[in-house]
């Protein structure tokens, strides 16, 4: 176990650029996340990415008692012991597939009611954050390629060798980990983040692409997207809604993360790197630009809250007011002195015209006294209507139910 802990800690340091004593030995270049950090600000110099614990939190120590939900809702542990559990995908028989960012693994979770079993179905991969499932096949996104594991439901104990579906992707580490999903058009959607905090990238970056399930027919469906790590399609309109993480080091209060809506035409530009949150021109790249020339966000999600997973609720367990509303996991900021938002799940309430009328708290309590007790990443609605929430800080998945 000690060796495993060392590997996890080294992975977190190396991939996040965390400036602790181990990372600073020997000096070297500044990590990418710190390149635009104000040099003359002692407060800014204290800010750095939050290191997750080196091993998953024990089931009995998970912070269930700290979690607050609206009246009538309850939360339980669905699965624990999944180091760095991040993106979720649901198989046909209720199996939940789980990607990771730091440990190179993909998990499968079977069973429920607090007795879920966890197995590792792939390891040694390069940031296999994104997972998607379709017709018996599991799609896994690494930094520079998408893999497919065929007949995976019947081969959890003996996973097949993966086929490479699509590998025309950059290899950059900054914002290189990917969330993927298969849309209602049966195409695979793959985002490509900007390879920097703020820069004017070449045309293959800062976009969302879609390809056929065999990797052919690649096309860009949205541009000017700095980094999205969560999206879903409206159950009625079929439009793509996605979260977007704003740039760092402009200030602690701006820009806010965004909730965007794309028609999929490929003609829409969402502003990066020229305009942020729909109304703030960038101090470096905004000169001579006008925010009115770019598609404005549908809602703002708080400054640096790291809005990630997004899932429309189509179940029947929750009250009617949640039907077709968008749940969003906010991982929480690292580059704010006072962390008063994030580490939670919010719900974007839409009216009959598809406009966001409110962004309301739903699952809170994991950010207390400026410290994280947990960090939600992704969401998945189970067939019974309950809601799963992954937490990569604790290596766990929670299940939210409603009992009236």
CB 204, CB 192: distance < 8 Å = yes
Encoded tokens for 172: 């950059």
Q: How far is CA 385 from CA 217, 380, 391, in A?
A: 35, 10, 20
The parts of the chain modelled with pLDDT lower than 70 are 1-28, 112-114
Give the three-class secondary structure for 216: coil
What is the spatial distance between Cα 103 and Cα 18, in angstroms, rounded to a whole number? 16
Residue 41: the pLDDT is 86
- Domains parsed from the chain with CATH numbers: 61-402 (2.120.10.30)
Q: Within 13 Å of residue 227, how many CA atoms lie on the same side as its CB?
A: 22
Q: Within 13 Å of residue 365, how many CA atoms lie on the same side as its CB?
A: 12
CB 263, CB 218: distance < 8 Å = no
Cβ neighbours of residue 65 closer than 8 Å, sequence gap 6 or more: none
What is the spatial distance between Cα 386 and Cα 115, in angstroms, rounded to a whole number? 16
What is the spatial distance between Cα 152 and Cα 253, in angstroms, rounded to a whole number? 45
Q: What are phi and psi of 297, to 5 degrees?
A: -70, 155
Q: How far is CA 289 from CA 4, 29, 251, 282, 293, in A?
A: 50, 33, 20, 9, 8
Residue 361: the pLDDT is 98
The 10 Å Cβ neighbour count of residue 304 is 29
What is the spatial distance between Cα 252 and Cα 55, in angstroms, rounded to a whole number? 30
The one-character DSSP state at 384 is: T
CB 153, CB 91: distance < 8 Å = yes
The one-character DSSP state at 190 is: E
Provide the β-strand partners of residue 232. 241
Residue whose token pair is 């604790």 = 394
CB 78, CB 398: distance < 8 Å = yes
DSSP secondary structure, 332-381, as one string: --SS-SS--S-SEEEEEEE-TTS-EEEEEEEEB-SEETTEES--EEEEEE
What is the spatial distance between Cα 389 and Cα 384, in angstroms, rounded to a whole number? 15
């Amino acid at each position: 176990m000690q060796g495993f802990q060392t590997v996890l800690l080294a992975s977190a340091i190396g991939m996040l650029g965390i400036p602790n004593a181990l990372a600073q030995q020997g000096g070297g270049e500044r990590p990418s996340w710190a390149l635009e950090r104000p040099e003359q600000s002692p407060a800014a110099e204290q800010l750095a990415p939050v290191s997750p614990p080196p091993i998953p939190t024990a089931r009995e120590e998970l912070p269930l008692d700290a979690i607050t939900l609206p009246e009538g809702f309850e939360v339980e542990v669905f699965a624990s012991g999944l180091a760095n559990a991040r993106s979720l995908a649901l198989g046909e028989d209720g199996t939940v597939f789980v990607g990771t960012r730091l440990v190179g693994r993909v998990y499968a979770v079977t069973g429920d009611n607090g007795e879920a079993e966890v197995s590792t179905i792939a390891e040694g991969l390069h940031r296999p954050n994104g997972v998607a499932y379709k017709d018996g096949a599991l799609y896994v996104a690494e930094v520079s390629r998408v893999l497919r594991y065929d007949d995976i439901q019947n081969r959890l104990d003996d996973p097949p060798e993966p086929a490479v579906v699509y590998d025309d992707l950059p290899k950059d580490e900054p914002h290189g980990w990917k969330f993927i999903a298969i849309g209602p058009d049966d195409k695979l959607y793959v985002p490509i983040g900007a390879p920097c905090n703020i820069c004017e990238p070449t045309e293959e970056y800062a976009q969302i692409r879609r390809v056929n399930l065999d990797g052919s027919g690649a096309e860009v469906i949205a541009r000017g997207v700095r980094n999205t790590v969560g999206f879903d399609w409206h159950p009625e309109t079929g439009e793509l809604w996605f979260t977007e993480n704003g740039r760092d080091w402009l200030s602690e209060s701006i820009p806010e993360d965004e909730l965007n809506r794309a028609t999929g035409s490929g003609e829409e530009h969402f502003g990066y790197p020229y305009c942020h949150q729909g109304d703030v021109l960038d101090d470096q790249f905004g000169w001579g630009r006008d925010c009115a020339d770019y598609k404005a966000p549908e809602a703002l999600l708080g400054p640096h809250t790291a809005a990630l997973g997004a899932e429309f609720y189509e179940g029947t367990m929750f009250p009617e007011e949640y039907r077709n509303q968008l749940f969003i996991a906010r991982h929480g900021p690292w580059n704010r002195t006072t962390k008063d938002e994030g580490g939670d799940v919010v719900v974007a309430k839409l009216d009959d015209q598809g406009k966001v009328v409110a962004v309301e708290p739903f699952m809170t309590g994991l950010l207390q006294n400026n410290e994280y007790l947990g960090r939600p990443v992704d969401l998945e609605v189970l067939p019974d209507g309950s809601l799963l929430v992954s937490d990569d800080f604790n290596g766990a998945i929670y299940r939210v139910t409603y009992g009236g």
